[in-house]
A and B are shown apart, each in its own frame.
Chain A
Amino acid sequence: MNALELNKVHIKRGDIPIVHGVDIVAKPGEISVLLGANGAGKTTILEGTSGVIPIASGDIVLEGAQMCKASAGHRARSGIAHVEQGRTIFAEMSTEDNLRVGLHPESGLEQAYDLFPELKTRANVKSAMLSGGEQQMLVIARALLGKPKVVLIDEMSAGLAPVVVARLMQAVRLLADQGLAVLLVEQFANLALDIGDRAYVLRRGEVVYDGSCEILRNDPAMLHHLYLGDMEKDSA
C-alpha cells in the first residue's frame, strides 16, 4: 500500500497555475526524489501536500484517507510531516524544547538523539546558536518525533558544507530503511539519486519522468535532457 498518493494534483499560486495534474506516490521504506530546475514546482507540491497552500484540484490520499480538504494541522496529526526549506527552528527555544514541541506521546527524545547524537550534546543550547547543519538535523529530528507516516523534506542541503549534507543524506536513508516514506526535494540531483529509490523529474509543473533513481544515476545525459527539455532545442 502506498503511504501517500497525489492523484492529478493541480496547484496555483494566486491565479498562476504552477503544478499541472501530477501523479506522485511515496511508499513505506522508500525515498521518492522530486527533481527539477528552479521554478519547476517542487516546493509547491510539498506545500500543497502538507496544507501550507491549498490545491486547486486532484486528490491527496494518506494511507487511504482523503486529505485535500484537511487543515495543515490535521494533516500533520494524521502523519504528514513537512520539513520546510530554510531550517524553521524555534530560535528562542533550546534544542531540547524544539524537539519536545513535536513530540508524539509514543515517541521519545532518544529517537532524535540516536539519529543525530550531535544534538544531545547541544540539548540545552538555544537553537539559534546551533550551526546550520545542526539546525537542519534539529528540524528533521523534530519532524521524526511526531511519529509521521510520510516525511516531506525540502532542500535540506541548501547552504551546508558537503560533509554535513552527506551526513544528512545518510540519516534520511536510515529513516526510510526504518519503514518511513520520504518525499525528498533536492537541488543536488546526484546526491538525491544516490540515496533515492524512485525519482520524479518535474518540468514546468509537469512530471516528465517517473521511474527508478538507478536509471537516472547511470544515465547523466538523460537526466540533463529531462531537466532542460525544450530549452536545449531552443538554444540549438
Chain B
Amino acid sequence: MLNTLKKLIKISGVSGREHNLAEFIKTLLADYCDRIERDTLGNLIAFKRGTAEKPKKVMLAAHMDEIGFMTTFIEDSGLIRFGTIGGINFNAAAYSEVVFEQGIKGVLIPDKSVAPADYKATKFYVDIGARNKKEAERRVKIGDCFSLSPSLIRLCGERIAGRPFDDRIGCAILIDIAKKLKSCPDDVYFVFTVQEEVGCRGSKTAAFTIAPDYAIAYDVTSTGDMPGADPMAIKVGEGAAIKIKDASVICDNRLVSLMQKTAKENKIPFQNEILTAGGTDTSSMQVAGNGAVAGALSVPTRYIHSGVELLDIKDAKACSALTLALLANGLD
C-alpha cells in the first residue's frame, strides 16, 4: 500500500488535468481486470466480472484529482498570478515549493504587505525565478496548472505525513483491493474519478454510465484528535471510518449496517464517521441515474489540504480488508 502511494503522489493531477495519473494507474491494473477504459470526462473505469448468474453491479470510487492552481496572468516582472482549484488553505501554503504539470518548479509567496489573516489567491504570486515576462512565458502558459510539490515522510509506526494523500490514499486502497480480489459474486467497477475537489463531477457521469446497484467511495476524512479540532469522534489509527453522514450525503443505512457487521465478524478495526463539513463522491453516486445504495469508507487524516496531511497506513489497510470481506460474500 505504502509503495503504491509513493508512486501515485509523484504524478500531478490537479482537477481537470488527471490524464497522466490515469494512464499510470491503467498500467498498474491492466493484469487484474477484464476491461479498463477512460470515459468522456477522463474517469478511469476498471471492470472485473462477477461469478453470480445475475451479478449485481458494485462501483468502488476514489478520486484521482488533487487541489491546485491555474495560471491566469504573467506580470511584466515574470511573477505568475493564478486562480485556485479546490479548497486551498493559504496559511498552510505560503512559502511552499510548487511544481507545474510540465515539471517547472517555483515558490508560492504572499504579498509582503498582507497579514496572514487576509491571505487570498489575489494576494499571492508564484516566483519561478524568471527575470521577466518573456522568460516566464517560455516556461509557463496561461491555463497551466500547478500544485504544492508532493512529499512523503515516515513518522512513528505506520504513520506518514505529506501530500497529496487526499485522495491518492483512496486510489491506493482501490488498487490494493483490485490486486487481492480473487473472485466474487458481484461485478466490480474500480473507478478512479476526476474533478471531485471541484464538485464531485467525475463520479456523476461515471455513475450514470455504470448505473451501479451499490456504490462505495474511498476518501480521507477529518479527525477530532488534535488541538483546536471541531469535536469529532474519529481518531487517526483507530481503524477504517465507516461513513454514516457528511455534509453532502446520508449513507444508506442498510450498507452501513452491513459494513459494521462484516467488520465485527472479521475483527477489522473500524469507527463510525459523522463529518459535519465536506462532501465526497458518495453523494453524486447515490443520486445518479436511477440511484444507488451508497456509502463510504474513509481514512482518518489530520491537516487535510495542507502539505503535511497525516494518516496511518493501518487505517487504509483496514478499509481494503473490510471491502474484500464485503465483496467475498456479495453485497446483496
Are A and B part of the same complex?
A: no
Residues of A within 8 A of B (CB): none
